[in-house]
Amino acid sequence: MELHEALYTTRAMRRVTNEKIPMATQGRILDAAIRAPSGGNAQGWRFLLVDDVDTIAALGPLYRDAMDQLWSTVYKPRIDQAAAAPEAADSRQFEKVRKSAQWLADNFETVPLYLFAFSAFDPSGSSIYPAVWSAMLAARAEGIGTCLTAVLSFFHLDEVLELLGVPKDAGWVCSACVSFGYPTGRWGVAPRRPVQEVTYRNRWGESSGLTVDDALWPPR
């Protein structure tokens, strides 16, 4: 797969079938992930693949409750805002994301594979998320949809770490939980605020001189 197709179409793809992911495919995804850079090339990471039905069944209720808590705290203002103006473009987009996120919560146990990523001594996350994103891009090239969720780092973290047997006080931080599966929907380019609205040059607030009106992929 061409790099740009992967960069442009690896959007959060939560709705997947329960079809298992072959071991050789998992090996290719992980080998691509570990090529990512890390500070001082320290590779202070561990990847924990979870495909055991009982383990996933134990995680499911924790994940659902974590999502419930997220909706009623962090995302409460956005939900209220969307409810107040349901026809606004922002509201529709948010509701779409919310429904998709809730699908994963409701169907947590049907997803065939999860990848938990752990990092050591990486307060910023700059040494773990490139590897995680590489795994998601490599999965895209295999026709596998992924979604990065941090919600289990906010709620029920201790129970999750206990369940997965993560050693305590060894300095490992759970940085991500990524779902993997063959998608039921279609790949596409997600809508984004354009470059000119989020990019400055030399000083905060000054025009970058760049204007990109439409996504540059697929090539026209």
Residue 160 to residue 65: CA distance in whole angstroms: 12
Interface pick for a second copy out of 91, 94, 155, 182 (rule CB under 8 A): 94
CB of 65: closest distance to a second copy in angstroms? Answer: 18
Helix (H, G, I), strand (E, B) or coil at 94: helix
**Is 161:31 a contact under the CB 8 Å cutoff?**
no
**Beta pairing class for 45-50 and 113-120:** antiparallel
Instruction: Give, as ranges, the residues between 34 and 63 that touch a second copy (CB under 8 A).
Output: 34-37, 39-41, 43, 45-52, 55
Binding status of residue 11 toward a second copy by CB under 8 A: yes
Q: How far is the CB of 180 from a second copy (least distance, A)?
A: 13
- Supply the minimum distance, in Å, between the C-beta of residue 194 and a second copy: 8
What is the Cα–Cα distance from 49 to 58, expressed in whole angstroms? Answer: 15
Is position 77 an interface residue for a second copy (rule: CB under 8 A)? no
Q: Nearer to a second copy by C-beta: 74 or 85? A: 74
| CB neighbourhood size of 13 (10 A) | 25
* Complex with a second copy: residue 85 or 216, whichever CB lies closer: 216
Q: CA 74 to CA 138: how far, in whole Å?
A: 31
Task: Give kind and range of the element (H or E) at residue 161.
Answer: helix 157-164
- Count interface residues toward a second copy (CB under 8 A): 88
Minimum gap (Å) between residue 15 Cβ and a second copy: 15
**DSSP secondary structure string for all residues of 26-40:** HHHHHHHHTTS--GG
Region from 60-68, 81-89, 102-110, 159-167 binding a second copy, contact rule CB under 8 A: 159-167
Taking CB under 8 A as the rule, does residue 183 contact a second copy? no
Work out how close the CB of 142 gets to a second copy at its nearest, in angstroms, rounded to a whole number. Answer: 10
